[in-house]
Amino acid sequence: MSWGPIALFTTVGVLALGIVGFAGYQVWQNGLGWHDRADQISGIQDFYKTDKTMVGQREHVWGPQTYKLSPPVAGNHNPNWQRCLGDVYTSQIASEHALHSMEHGAVWITYNPSLPADQVEKLAKKVRGNDYMLMSPYPNLDKPISLQAWGFQLKVDNADDSRIDEFIKALRQNATLEAGTPCSSGDIITETGSTPRDLGKDGSTTQMGGN
């Protein structure tokens, strides 16, 4: 008996099953909603499942706020949002403004200031030119890099981690509480600093005008 043809047919059969299996997996993946896709990311924290009370806090308030998480992923925040039109901030920004951007559907990438410059640049390339994205250093961050979307957080050790792109793909503009609200106009600020600016309070004008 010649084993050559048998081995050939076996190999072809295994390859065919692999192709069919992969195609089926792709169909299944494409059928998942954004929330399910996010939950599949290894290491992600989904606070919709673990702290619904925190995720539901979203009042617009003036002044500094205290948050349960650092960086925060939800909570009461400033009426002005940080511009998130692919903005790469080289100084710390106020969480109160960044949270409002996230409420609009933005992904906020933060990094420890000690992160090497080449790693920072790799992150910046994921942000520049992409609406609903912003990035800034975050002093005393307990991991080199932390990604935030409203209700979700992922902390990683380096900018080459493939989960960063997965997080952005799953959650940018999807984890929004105000769909269709832009990051590029309205009551925005571009100033940096850890203290919220409260532009528009007491009748003063906002940087770019009101909604």
Per residue, what are the HEC states of 43-73?
A: CCEEHHHHCHHHHCCCCECCCCCCCCCCCCC
pLDDT of residue 184: 80
Question: In the chain, which stretches have pLDDT less than 70?
Answer: 1-30, 203-211
Residue at 174 is within a domain: yes
For residue 156, being part of any structural domain is answered with yes
Amino acid identity at 74:
A
Residue 209 lies in a domain: no
Does residue 21 sit in the same domain as residue 49?
A: no
Asked if residue 210 belongs to a domain, the reply is: no
pLDDT of residue 182: 87
Q: pLDDT per residue over 100-115, tens digit each?
A: 999 999 999 999 999 9
- Shared domain for 21 and 109, answered yes or no, is no
Residue at 67 is within a domain: yes
Q: Which residue has the tokens 């997996």?
A: 25
Residue 167 counted as domain residue = yes
Residues sharing a CB contact under 8 Å with residue 172, sequence separation 6 or more, in sequence order: 105, 106, 107, 130, 132, 133, 149
Which candidate, 108, 155, 159, 165, places its Cα nearest to that of 134?
A: 108
pLDDT of residue 201: 86
Confidence (pTM)? 0.83
Domain that holds residue 74: 36-203
Domain co-membership, 46 together with 128:
yes
Give a yes or no: residue 211 inside a domain: no
| Structure tokens that stand for 141 in this block | 């961050």
User: What's residue 206's pLDDT?
Assistant: 45
Residue 41: predicted pLDDT: 98
Are both 27 and 62 inside the same structural domain? no
pLDDT of residue 156: 98
Do 188 and 104 lie in one domain? The reply is: yes
